[in-house]
């Protein structure tokens, strides 16, 4: 966690400098930056359409790229929230040392219907540094 970030902040999400980065999520430096993240079509780290980038912010050679419209109707959505310290299935209205992260990959149909393709949920813990 970067110096100065509050691990138990009441608002989860990226700071202004991270949001203003038009290059995607490359400046996201901790998990809560993805709270509320939504991308359609699905994007790579540098903001390029998935399947077109080379993982350094540049495009792959043309023969190795997927069609530019391949993931056009796909989206990724991230939900993040605090959960109870004693029951990780229970959402907490106040900050705790435990956060649930849910990542959803969905297809947006032509009629606007959302078709879920994959979802994963994990609970992560913040472990405070030792006090001396």
Residue 3 belongs to a domain: no
Do 25 and 34 contact (CB within 8 A), yes or no?
yes
- Maximum pairwise Cα distance, the chain: 59
pTM of the model: 0.80
Separation of alpha carbons 53 and 56, rounded Å: 7
Domain for residue 8, yes or no? Answer: no
Total structural domains in the chain? 1
Residue 130, domain member (yes or no)? no
Residue 91, classed as helix, strand or coil, is: strand
pLDDT truncated to tens, each residue of the chain (132 aa)? 554 567 677 788 777 777 776 667 888 878 888 899 998 998 888 888 889 998 888 999 999 999 888 999 999 999 999 999 999 999 999 999 999 999 999 999 999 999 999 999 999 998 888 887
Question: 79 - beta bridge partners?
Answer: 102
- Residue whose structure tokens are 């509050």: 6
By residue range, what is the domain housing residue 113?
16-125
């Amino acid at each position: 966690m970067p110096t100065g970030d509050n691990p138990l902040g009441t608002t989860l999400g990226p700071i202004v400098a991270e949001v203003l980065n038009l290059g995607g999520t490359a400046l996201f430096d901790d998990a809560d930056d993805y709270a509320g993240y939504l991308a359609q079509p699905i994007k790579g780290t540098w903001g390029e359409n998935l399947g077109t980038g080379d993982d350094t912010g540049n495009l792959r050679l043309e023969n190795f790229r997927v069609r530019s419209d391949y993931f056009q109707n796909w989206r990724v959505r991230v939900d993040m929230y605090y959960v109870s310290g004693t029951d990780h299935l229970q959402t907490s209205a106040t900050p705790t040392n435990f956060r649930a992260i849910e990542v959803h990959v969905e297809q947006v149909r032509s009629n606007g219907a959302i078709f879920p393709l994959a979802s994963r949920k994990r609970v992560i813990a913040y472990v405070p540094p030792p006090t001396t």
